[in-house]
Amino acid sequence: MLRLEGLKKRYKTGDEALKGVDLEIPDGQVIALIGPSGAGKSTLIRCVNRLVEPTGGKAFLGDIELTNLSSSKLRKARSRMGMIFQEYALVERLTVMENVLSGRLGYVGFWSSFFRRFPAKDVQEAYRLLDRVGLMHMADKRADELSGGQRQRVGICRALIQNPDLLLIDEPTASLDPKTSRQIMRLINELCQERGLAAIINIHDVLLAQMFSQRVVGLKLGEIVYDGKPDGLTPDVLTEIYGEEDWEATIEKVDDENELESEA
């Protein structure tokens, strides 16, 4: 369970990205975090694993307070949170297998990782995950030889091999075409259900958010302005989050699988 209490972030430039966010995510719940660019979505999930240092408030994972951990304890806590990135963020010059195994770095020592001597069960798990996402045959390819969708699958494997309690997912579909976007979102959803994982998915595509999550949180200028069921996203709510626009068309399209804004 993740709990945020009045989480704040003010950047050195003076921008207040988060103005005291309170949020509770129970185990096994997949939530979609929506909002316009600059609403603080990326900052929020980066404040959870402290890639960005929050400037105020508290975050708890279970009963561990993340916000005051020493650096070695923080590493341990980070290894319990998998992260998936917008531009995949694979280390391009390493092989697919090394990228997946790098998810275990929080668990193995320096020298065994240096010589790529990972424990047998980690290697087995890596193969199992690659097989699960259909990339078994790509294990020895270099990451920069893969297509966008394949790279994101590897990114998912890297997050899952951490055996996390929580997934932090930052715009997983922003660099993908509409069809691949749906496949990736479906895969993430299935995997979360298989493992009973909680996840925060940052996404700016309202449709995908409604299709693939149990709960939607709307963020605007660093504050939560909506928290509820996906079907509670009425035109009024969307106007509140994103500003004035004709939202009826967007909502109607939810049922229409094939017509997605290719902008996604």
Partner 1 sequence: MSVAEQTFPSSWRRPPFIKNPLLRWSIIIGAAIYLALAFGTMDVNWQRAAEGLPRGQRFIAAFFPPNFSDNLGVMWDGIFESIWMAIISTIAGIALSIPIGLGAARNLAPKWVYLLNRSIIGGSRTFPEVILAIFAVKLFGFGPFAGFIALSIGTIGFYAKLLAEDIENMSASQAEAIKATGAGWFQWINYAIQPQVMPRMIGLSVYRLDINFRESAVVGIVGGGGIGATLNTAFERYEFDTAAAILLIIIGIVMVLEYTSGFLRKYVQ
Partner 2 sequence: MPRIDSTNGPVWKRRTTKQQWAIWAGWLVALAITAFAWQRISEKTIWFFVQDAPRQAADIGSRMIPPKFSYMSKLWAPIWDTLNIATLGTVIALVIAVPVAFAAARNTTPHPIVRTIAIFIIVASRSVNSLIWALMLVFIFGPGVLAGTIAIGLRSIGFCAKLLYEGIEEIDHTQVEAIEATGASGPQKMVFGIVPQVLPTFAGIGVFRWDINIRESTILGLVGAGGIGLELNGSINTLAWTQVSMILLVILLTVVVSEWVSAKVRGAII
Binding site for partner 1 (CB under 8 A): 95, 97-98, 101, 116, 118, 120-121, 123-124, 126-128, 131-132, 139-140
Identity of the residue, 8 or 80, whose beta carbon is nearer to partner 2 in the bound complex? 80
Examine residue 85 and tell whether it contacts partner 2 (CB under 8 A).
Answer: yes
3-class secondary structure, 192: helix
Q: Which of partner 2, partner 1, none sits in contact with 221, Cβ below 5 to 8 A by type?
A: none
- CA 133 vs. chain centroid, Å, equals 17
CB of 124 to partner 1, least distance (A): 5
Identity of the residue, 140 or 244, whose beta carbon is nearer to partner 1 in the bound complex? 140
Identity of the residue, 8 or 142, whose beta carbon is nearer to partner 2 in the bound complex? 142
Q: Long-range contacts: 111-118, Cβ < 8 Å, 24+?
A: none
* Residues β-bridged to residue 245: none
Q: Which of 27, 87, 145, 231 binds partner 2 (CB under 8 A)?
A: 87
- CA 97 vs. chain centroid, Å, equals 21
Query: Whole-angstrom Cα distance, residue 44 to residue 170?
Result: 10
Looking up tokens 């290697």 gives: 123
Examine residue 117 and tell whether it contacts partner 2 (CB under 8 A).
Answer: no
- CA 106 vs. chain centroid, Å, equals 18
Q: Which of 132, 193, 139 is nearest to 167 (CA)?
A: 193
> How many residues line the site for partner 2 (CB under 8 A)?
33
Examine residue 179 and tell whether it contacts partner 2 (CB under 8 A).
Answer: no
- Give the interface segment with partner 2, choosing from 4-12, 21-29, 72-80, 183-191 (CB under 8 A): 72-80
Query: Whole-angstrom Cα distance, residue 34 to residue 163?
Result: 26
Amino acid at 75: R
Q: Which residues of the chain form contacts with partner 2 (CB under 8 A)?
A: 49, 51, 75-83, 85, 87, 89-94, 98, 102-107, 110, 113-114, 155, 158, 162, 168
